Amino acid sequence: MELDLQNIGTNGIHLRVALAGQGPLVILIHGFPESWYSWRHQIPVLAKAGYRVAAPDLRGYGGSDKPHAIEAYAIQPMSSDIDGLIASLGAERAVVIGHDWGAAIAYGTALFHPERVRAVAGLSVPHLGRGPMPGVELFRKIYKDRFFYQLYFQEPGVAEAELEADVRTSLRKIYYSSSGEGQKVGARIESPAGPGFLDRLIDPDSFPPWLTGADLDYVVGQFRDSGFRGPLNRYRNSERDFEQLAAFDGKLIAQPAAFLAGSLDSVLRMIPGVDMVELMRKQFTDLRYVKLFEDAGHWLQQERPAEVNAALLEFLRDLPSCSPA
C-alpha cells in the first residue's frame, strides 16, 4: 500500500498528513507523545477496505507547524485544525477517530464542528463531558500530596528539559510504563531518587515486540527534530479548554460513537472511584460500540493492531452512508 505524506493547509497552519486509499474519509488523530506513525497498522487496512485515510501529525509534532504560544494548543484551535483538514481534503464530512489526546480532539471536533463529523471514535481516553471544574484543578485536589505527571507538566520548560535530554530513553520509559506489559509488572519506581517524571518510570531491558527498534528509531527522530514544547502545551490549556467548552456544558455528542480501550489502561483509573466507561455512556445519544481489550494497555492500536482494526471496521461498516465503494 503506497503511503503519501503531504503538507496540507488548515486553520492558518500546515499539517503533515499521511494519506492512503479512496472512499469515505476517515481521520486518524494521534496522542502524546506520538505522531501519525502510531496508526501505521490501521492506515493500510482501512485503505484496503475502501476508505480514504488521513493521519496528521498534530500541530507541534513531527512535520507539522509548531506555534510557540501555549494558547495555540487549546481544544478549540486543535479541533478547528481537523475541521479545516476535512475541508482541505475536499470532503463534506468524515469519521474522526482519535487516541489519547487525539480522542479528546476528536470529541471536540464533533462538538465544535458537528456538520463535519459523520461519526466519532475514541481510543483509550473517554469523553466525560465538561465537568464541574477544569481537569487540572480536579487533579490538584486528587493528587495534592502525590506526584502527578499532568501537574508536573504545567510549568513551561521543566518537562521539556527532562524529556529532551535523552529522547530515546524518555520514549522507551513512557511507552513501556503505560503498556499492558508494563502495567502487569507494575513498572514504576516506588521511591524515586529524583524529582522528575522519568525518575518514576522503568527503562526495560527488552521492549515488547509491538514496538520494534525501527519503530522507535522513527519516533525518536521526530521528537529530536520537533522537541516536546508543542505536545506539552496541550496539557497547559486545561482552564482554557474549560472556558472554550462552556457552550457545550451538558450537551450530548449526537453522532454515532465508539470507544475502545485496554483493560489495563491507567487512564481509566485516573479518577479514583469513578467508572469512566459508565460515565462516558451518559455523554452520548448514540454510543453504539464499546469494547475493552483484556490485558492491553494505553497504546492500544499498536499493542493490539489486528483486534483494533477489526473493531474499527465493524464500527465503520455499520454507519449509514459510510460503506466503502
Please list the active-site residues.
100, 298
Q: How many CB atoms lie within 10 A of CB 70?
A: 17
Q: How many residues does the chain have?
A: 325
Task: Give the angle 14-63-203 at the CA atoms, nearest 5°.
Answer: 140
Peptide bond into 77 cis (omega under 30): no
| Residues in Cβ contact with 178 at an 8 Å cutoff, skipping those fewer than 6 apart | 265, 266, 297, 298, 299
- Tell me how far CA of residue 33 lies from CA of 146, 190, 227, 307, in angstroms: 23, 24, 10, 22
* Dist. CA 324–CA 152, nearest whole Å: 45
- Grid cell 459508565 in the structure block, residue: 278
Q: Name the residue type at position 159.
A: A
Containing 161, the helix (H) or strand (E) segment is: helix 158-165
By the 8 A CB rule, do 171 and 197 touch?
no
By the 8 A CB rule, do 112 and 79 touch?
yes
- Tell me how far CA of residue 58 lies from CA of 75, 248, 316, in angstroms: 12, 24, 23
* Dist. CA 84–CA 215, nearest whole Å: 29
- Grid cell 530515546 in the structure block, residue: 168
Give the helix ranges, DSSP H, for 6-100: 43-48, 75-88
Q: How many CB atoms lie within 10 A of CB 46?
A: 27
